Amino acid sequence: MRAIQVVNAGPSAQLVMGDVSKPVPGTDEILVKVAATALNRADILQRQGKYPPPPGASSLLGLEIAGTVAEAGRNVQGWRPGDRVYALLAGGGYAEFATVHYQVAMPVPSKLSLTDAAAVPESFLTAYHALFRLGRLREGQNVLIHAGASGVGTAAIQMAKDSGAIAHVTAGSHPKLELCSRLGAATTTNYREESFAEKILSSTSNKGVDLIIDFIGAPYWDGNIRSLALDSRIIVLATMGGDRIPDFSLRDLFRKRASLLTSTLRSRSLEFKIGLSQEFHEYAQSRFNDGRLCPVIDTTFDWAEVSKAHRYMEENRNMGKIVLHVSGS
């Protein structure tokens, strides 16, 4: 089968189309004919040699797919060839075929195309886990979502609004902030032009927020601490701006009685991914079908243009997800 391969760790020019062995589904797996996959920052880091796949995972890039079932293992229940499916992967999405455990796979909501569905698993599962499992977000609470126009950010805004929480976001351009407002953000801050902490305190009558979803890390630490309400939580999902905090003090957290948590999904156990996927499916299926939730897609590239797509993400041009259409599917 055809797949996108990394020749040598480095820039996007190292991504080439090649022939690799077609995966064989295990007894508890389905083989999916991939119609589309989507880009994630982890793909760029892996391409650069900075984020190897977990043990046992495919060495190919790609953490999410949508397509149709081509074959089912002996122990698989509930799936038949031709069924529409989308799923979170530990790797292997940039290919014509991919395998996934049948209980991690989710049926595509009827209102979503396969292109739409490819933009869901990584961003929405990450946001769902951060907001509700870790963040314990409830109706009426305030949540600050950094990188609001990213895939995870656009998903988190929608789910926060649907839960009755009040979403506040940061982003780096006015078009991105306008998108966040349309999705339901109550306040928006252009981090290039103003202090998000001052905006948060002003808009919450100096109370602060109950939850922060952060992808930036060190540069936002002081602002995050200032923005926190008492008994609040910070969920750090990435450290795009750096991971070394100058003059770090645990007393900053004690003063707010705050919790600091981190999370990734890629290296989680199979049991964890099964539980999260099934829980999310029960939560999200009706919401996608009635329009309360909708994947935000910035651009769709043919997978032959994967190098161009990676550069587009590296330039921070996208608002929402970047999807790769797998030619011939």
Give the range among 225-229, 303-307, 324-328 with minimum mean pLDDT.
324-328
What was the pLDDT predicted at 329? 55
Q: Domain segments of the chain: what residues?
A: 2-120+286-325, 123-262
pLDDT exceeds 60 at position 281: yes
Q: Thinking of the domain 123-262, which architecture would CATH place it in?
A: 3-Layer(aba) Sandwich (3.40)
Say which CATH superfamily domain 2-120+286-325 falls into.
Answer: Medium-chain alcohol dehydrogenases, catalytic domain (3.90.180.10)
Cα separation, 88 vs 295, in Å, equals 15
Dihedral pair phi/psi, residue 169, rounded to 5°:
-135, 155
Q: What pLDDT digit, counting tens, does each position of 63-116 carry?
A: 999 999 999 999 999 999 999 999 999 999 999 999 999 999 999 999 999 999
For residue 35, give the amino acid letter: A
Name the residue among 121, 141, 139, 59 with its Cα closest to residue 94: 59
Q: Distance between CA 327 and CA 218 in Å, rounded?
A: 40
Residue 87: φ, ψ to 5°: -165, 155
Of 326, 324, 290, the closest CA to residue 109 belongs to: 290
Closest CA to 302 of 60, 115, 143: 115
pLDDT of residue 292: 98
Looking from the CA of 168 toward its CB, the CA atoms found within 13 Å total 26
Triad 177, 289, 176: Cα angle to 5°: 10
